Amino acid sequence: MYDLIVIGGGPAGYIAAIRAGQLGKKVACVEVDRAGGTCLNWGCIPTKALLKNAHLYHQMKHHAADFGMKFDNLSYDWSEVIGRSRKVADRLAGGVEFLFKKNKVDYLRGFGSIEGEGKVGVTDKDGKKEVFEAKNIIVATGCKPRELPPLPFDGKAVLSSKHAMNLKEQPKSMLIIGAGAIGVEFAYIYNAFGTEVTMVEMQPTILPVEDSEVGKTLERSYKKMGVKCLTDTKVTAFKNNGNSVTLTVESKKGTQDITADTCLVAIGVAPVLPGGETPELDERGFVKTDERYTTNLPNVFAIGDIDGPPWLAHTGMFEAVQCVDGIFVEGHNPRRVENFPGCTYCHPEVASIGKTEDALKAEGVDYKVGKFPYQALGKAQAIGETEGFVKLLFGKEHGELLGAHIIGENATDLIAEMGLALEMELTADEIHSTIHAHPTIAEAIHEATLDADGHALHI
């Protein structure tokens, strides 16, 4: 009898299993594919490896002279580019398996199913099923790329994000439907290596969940790099030609057909459910939970992407610890995700936390804006990364931080400070009274805070 069986070995699942192991509980984690889930094997990690390759190649090709360097016959090996990302993912997957052993978590390979109260079935690749008993069950089965019914994935002309990061041959042209985080990251990767990329987005800006000023700035940057950004544009017809894809798109400028070798569909995610007895679902197919991550099934909990948005690895990890501590630690009241950083690892990077300016306007909140450009930073000038800005939003009456939006070098690292500030309810006075080392990119946070009161020192 296990104290806990976790179905799903992605960021939420493996963290839940490890946390329960740390608490001295008898734990098993069931995973049908490989420890680390989509994030580690086919998402967060390998895409960041590809982005590093892409940015390095882009810098050497377009900016080497700025650093006094010259290259003859600069080239790349596409198979090695893809191979490096797979090696990185493989190493980290092995690391998760090591952590299971370290924390005495049983790692059960197979498809997990809920076989009634306190019972989990594990079906291996040969179809053999074994049933295990547990006092508690956590469902952390995650999501998969969402298909467009008229344009199903085939891995050749029509791609999911998983296909896009493992193509044997680089396409000469690519259409991307959806300009959220996945869409813009792959747009940067393939454009950097010379693929002709066109993004199609229904919303007025790319990265539509971000502050609109950030989205517009990134769009200008992408257009300079040669990425075509068709915003405020709907796809009205789809055709898989076998060795290419044709889309009919409609915008205020009219209707046109566009064709490319491949089409990446990046319109969101769909839930992946365990087998057997299914917990109650919401209207979109995600598992319903209460404030303690409990489902309608007795002693069955759900965390991570299967629990609904935000579909982020770090929020899944947060939920994992909250849920497990809520089950096993007396007196612990689990917290739900409130403030969380959103990060997009394109170039320039984009990161945010808290309210956008549009949201504050819609809510009628009185606020003030502090903004500072990378162009005015000594560190940014020294490293040749002057594109972008830090934009901070503060309450007008009390000066509390309401939101932070960063586009530029190291944005995804800088946002952690803003997350801490938001969590601790810091004010502009408290942030700018904290010394930020010189020369660093983080000085932009200090200067943007000062700018909210018109006191920026370096612009």
Catalytic residue among 438, 446, 455, 458: 438
75, with CB counted inside 10 A (0-12, 13-18, 19+), is exposed
Q: Are 380 and 441 spatial neighbours (Cβ–Cβ below 8 Å)?
A: yes
Distances (CA, A) of 386 to 32, 162, 372, 419: 45, 32, 11, 24
Contact 312/290 with Cβ under 8 angstroms?
no
Angle at 182 (CA atoms; ends 179, 188), nearest 5 degrees = 80
Q: How many CB atoms neighbour CB 164 within 10 A?
A: 25
Is 438 part of the annotated catalytic residue set?
yes
Annotated binding residue 442: no
211 is in an annotated binding site: no
Residue 219 CA to residue 407 CA, distance in Å, equals: 12
Please name which of 329, 325, 338 lies closest in space to residue 293, comparing C-alpha atoms: 325
Name the phi and psi angles at 285, rounded to 5. 95, 5
- Is 320 part of any known ligand binding site? no
The answer to whether 368 is annotated as binding is no
Q: 305: annotated binding-site residue? A: yes
Q: Is residue 388 within 8 Å of residue 71, measured between CB atoms?
A: no
Residue 18, Ramachandran bin (φ over 0: left; ψ between -120 and 50: alpha; else beta): alpha
Strand positions, DSSP E, 67-123: 105-109, 111-114, 119-123
Q: Which residues contact 242 (CB under 8 A, 6 or more apart)?
A: 157
Write down the number of H helices and E strands in the chain.
Answer: 13, 23
Does 66 belong to an annotated binding site?
no
Q: Is 110 annotated as a binding residue?
A: no
180 annotated as a binding-site residue: yes
DSSP state of 374: G
Q: Does residue 215 have a known ligand-binding role? A: no
Closest CA to 432 of 372, 356, 386: 372
3-state secondary structure of 119: strand
What is the rounded radius of gyration, in angstroms, for the C-alpha atoms of the chain? 23
Q: Binding site for FAD: which residues?
A: 48, 112
- Active-site residues, by number, are 438
Q: Binding site: which residues?
A: 48, 112, 178-185, 201, 268, 305
Q: Binding site for NAD(+): which residues?
A: 178-185, 201, 268, 305
